[in-house]
Structure 1
Amino acid sequence: MVGPRPIPHWLGVLLGQKFFDPCILHESAKKNEKNIFCLNCCITICPHCLPLHRHHRRLQIRRYVYQDVIRLSDAQKLINCSLVQPYTTNSAKVIFLNERPMSRPFRGSGNLCVKCDRSLQDPFLFCSLSCKVHPIFTLPNFDVLTMPLLLFLSLFSTVNLMSFFRNMHAG
């Protein structure tokens, strides 16, 4: 049976990591926050750990509005980030790793994240990478064969996917 592909192992680990804690290997050094993720080892490291991971693939984690983000250009080399809303900080586009806590309920109409209902700009469907990789296949009335077609159509037409997902989620 053909179904959705599981997410890469490193991505599942990345989304569960806590960043910006001090590195216990370099606790007496300055600038020892763990803000780098080694994709080969699936661990968080600080800048002082880099020599041990010099030949490994790595992602630098950044902070934007107190949340963990990665540069969109770095993420796109590793995973399809389409339909995840990017934000601009320090002239670089970034995407959030995880769903952000809601500060207050959104009042008004508009585009909402398919998973967490955070307000988005058109044409985006997800507020973060974790919301995109979260199994949308658990929504009621979801047909696994429908998803690839809808994503394909969203690239080339004005199909309103948000209303489709909202109707599915409500039904």
Structure 2
Amino acid sequence: MKGESVPSWLELLLTTQFFTICMSHLSSARNECNLFCIDCEAQQSAFCYYCRQCHHSTHRVIQVRRSSYHDVVRVAELHDILDISDVQTYVINSATVVFLNERPQQLRSCGVSVVKASSSSYNCESCNRALLDAYRFCSLGCNLKGIKEDMETTVVMGNITAYTKNDDDIDLSTESVNTGNNNESCSDTDLCKEKPPPAKRHRRKGIPRRAPFF
């Protein structure tokens, strides 16, 4: 998932609560809200099978599933609308899926929380979860978090570069101004006349000799 191709509905998908009971179809059998429409972003929320038939029959809809109490989406439903090449995939019930959000990594032992040690060679760049393969992130949520951090780093580095360039420009402009002032100060012919060279002193040709006394 590249920074310039992140869809606007992704963050809304990651913050939506799924598997609640649809209040419009309380007496129906398939009334759990496990669907999300990526074409209806305004005030979006999860909806059930019957809501889809009534209001989203022609829209692009994603079905969210559960694995060990965590939300997942099948890769087959995302590969055409989202770049997930950096996200670890898992095979669950013969289907390849990705997790929506980061999962807890702590185990409780005797009432004390401890972090499970990992010998994996690959780890999520965002939450440090052990990965099965050479991916960068464990979930779509961690991927989005990593993209935001990369964008912030790019902005900071861009500001530093611009600041450095501005300093160089100021130095050059200062030098040009000083040069201009020097030229203006020499415009007066009286001040710019060259000083006459110092008078040369003639050395005696030899040691003076007195006439001999007779």
Q: TM-score, normalised by structure 2?
A: 0.60
Q: Are residue 100 (structure 1) and residue 106 (structure 2) matched?
A: no
Q: TM-score, normalised by structure 1?
A: 0.74
Question: What is the Cα deviation at residue 28 of structure 1?
Answer: 2.1
Q: Which residue of 1 aligns with 2:138?
A: 127
Question: What is the correspondence of 1:1-171 to structure 2 with a 5 Å cutoff?
Answer: 4-5=3-4, 7-41=6-40, 42-51=44-53, 52-104=55-107, 105-109=115-119, 110-136=121-147, 138=149, 142=153
Looking at structure 2, the residues matched to 14 and 60 of structure 1 have their Cα atoms a distance apart, in angstroms, of: 11
Asked whether the 8 Å contact 1:115–1:136 carries over to 2, the reply is no
Q: Which ranges of structure 1 fall in alignment gaps of 5 or more residues?
A: 145-171
Looking at structure 2, the residues matched to 136 and 91 of structure 1 have their Cα atoms a distance apart, in angstroms, of: 30
Asked whether the 8 Å contact 1:84–1:127 carries over to 2, the reply is yes
SS in 2 for 1:37: strand
Question: What is the Cα deviation at residue 44 of structure 1?
Answer: 1.2
Task: Give the fraction of aligned pairs with identical amino acids, expressed as a percent.
Answer: 39
Question: What is the Cα deviation at residue 122 of structure 1?
Answer: 2.6
Computing the radius of gyration over CA atoms, which structure comes out larger, 1 or 2? 2
Q: C-alpha root-mean-square deviation of aligned residues, in Å?
A: 2.2
- AA aligned to 2:68 is V
Looking at structure 2, the residues matched to 86 and 97 of structure 1 have their Cα atoms a distance apart, in angstroms, of: 11
CA offset digits 1:96-121 (Å, max 9, x no partner): 00111113323243211100111102
Aligned residues: 141
Q: Which ranges of structure 2 fall in alignment gaps of 5 or more residues?
A: 108-114, 156-214
Moved more, 52-61 or 98-107: 98-107
CA offset digits 1:2-29 (Å, max 9, x no partner): x943732211110100000001111222
Looking at structure 2, the residues matched to 107 and 39 of structure 1 have their Cα atoms a distance apart, in angstroms, of: 38
- Could you say if the C-alpha distance between residues 86 and 135 of structure 1 is closer, same or farther in structure 2, counting changes exceeding 3 Å? closer
- AA aligned to 1:129 is L
Asked whether the 8 Å contact 2:37–2:62 carries over to 1, the reply is yes
Looking at structure 2, the residues matched to 121 and 69 of structure 1 have their Cα atoms a distance apart, in angstroms, of: 17
Question: What is the Cα deviation at residue 136 of structure 1?
Answer: 4.5
